Amino acid sequence: MYKMEQILQKYLPEMAVKPCFELIKTHDVHLKIVNERLTRHGDYRRMPDGKHQITVNASLNKYKFLITLVHEIAHLVAFEKYGRLIKPHGIEWKHSFQRLMLPFIRPEIFPSNLITFVAHHFKNPRASSDTDVNLALALKKYDPQNDKNYIFELPPNSLFRLYNGKIFKKGKRRVKRYECLEVATGKIYLFNPNAEVEFLKSDYQL
């Protein structure tokens, strides 16, 4: 067994290891599994020497890891097929992501209480699975226990803390995101509803 296959066994559902390894090998991907970055689950870069580097957070549960890995390989495939001028999450990427992900959407890989949400998401995949509330909540059940909450779960006017220690007050929803006030500076920032934060206190008045 290749060393990469052995490594992937730690991070992926068992039946997804070989097909993911074949994707990595076919597309000549240099995969880096890295410490958690809270701003993203993974990324794809074409290096100056022309090689393809994909990084994925080591902290993701195995189903998030799979979706993220295929998400990033889809960027590679779309750029190689359609050129570098396409939108990163445009129609070319969506079609590439759907095609690459389809062989994985089966009960041998995803449990029955998750596969329905995965299948629905991939009818029209978004830039991040975190923006699909139903899928995000279904995936969260497979995360290790932690003290984090999604912003949309917090009561109005709640205080919450980010990984960097900054404290915010939850405000009103503006279309797809929440306006949140940074307590120390008074600046307003927009947050994804599914951003994971540390809940501090509700009904706090400044």
The per-residue pLDDT for range 139-167, each reduced to its tens digit, is 988 987 777 888 888 999 999 998 788 99
Q: Where do we find the tokens 């889809």?
A: 74
Question: Do 93 and 155 reside in the same domain of the chain?
Answer: no
DSSP reduced 3-state for 87 = coil
Residue 206 lies in a domain: no
- pLDDT, tens only, 99-129: 999 999 999 999 999 999 999 999 999 887 7
Question: Do 32 and 65 reside in the same domain of the chain?
Answer: yes
* Residues 6 or more apart whose Cβ sits within 8 Å of residue 83: none
Question: Do 51 and 109 reside in the same domain of the chain?
Answer: yes
| Last residue within a domain, chosen from 94, 123, 140 | 140
pTM to 2 decimal places: 0.80
| Last residue within a domain, chosen from 104, 123, 140 | 140
The percent of residues above 90 in pLDDT, for the chain, comes to 67
